[in-house]
Amino acid sequence: MKHTCRDETACWNAIRFCAWQHGVDAAGVIREAQRRNVPARELHERFERSARHILTTFRARVANDAFTPGIFHIEVLDQTTFWIDGLGRVWRISSPDFSTDHLINATLFLREMAPQLMEILQPLQDLTYNQAAEQMRAIPLMGALVAETWRRVDSAPDRSR
Ligand SMILES: [Zn+2]
């Protein structure tokens, strides 16, 4: 993609416009990008790529690195290989690039989201928070995140000796 923003301010403004077009909270996405040191240019390009690939499958979007920032992509729940973060970045769960902090944050995020997610996945059930959190354990992605956490804990050097 040819990036034509003349400077960083123009780029952040373009991102605000993209976020508005996608119905995404611009301030939240920009704050998250700055907190994670993701440059405006990268974020802007993510929005542009995701707009071009919006109708393709989850796998195709992974292949094109084309997830809209600021959106929770519900299809992620149905697979066990990738995590898509709040900026639309694709992470391979088993990769060392996906830090243990990030892994744990992703797991906690899903647990917190459990009632809303279960309302989408099982709209006819009326679940308490704990019931929803319990049902989350059956979600493929949740199983993969928990398994990876255990794998890392088990392979961590034993500091007790
Ligand atoms: Zn830009």
User: How many angstroms separate the alpha carbon of residue 90 from the centre of ligand 1?
Assistant: 20
User: How many angstroms separate the alpha carbon of residue 103 from the centre of ligand 1?
Assistant: 29
What is the chain's pLDDT, residue by residue, as a tens digit (161 residues)? Answer: 678 999 999 999 999 999 999 999 999 999 999 999 999 999 999 999 998 876 679 999 999 999 999 999 999 999 999 999 999 999 999 999 999 999 999 999 999 999 888 888 888 778 888 888 888 889 999 999 999 999 998 887 766 65
Please give the Cα distance from 43 to 66 (Å, whole number). 11
One domain, residues 107 and 67 = no
Residue 78 lies in a domain: no
Residue 59 lies in a domain: yes
The token pair at 139 is 């979600």
| Beta carbons of 90 and 68 less than 8 angstroms apart | no
Q: What letter represents residue 140's amino acid?
A: P
User: How many angstroms separate the alpha carbon of residue 81 from the centre of ligand 1?
Assistant: 30
Please give the Cα distance from 62 to 102 (Å, whole number). 19
Domain that holds residue 147: 100-155
User: How many angstroms separate the alpha carbon of residue 33 from the centre of ligand 1?
Assistant: 14
pTM, full prediction: 0.88
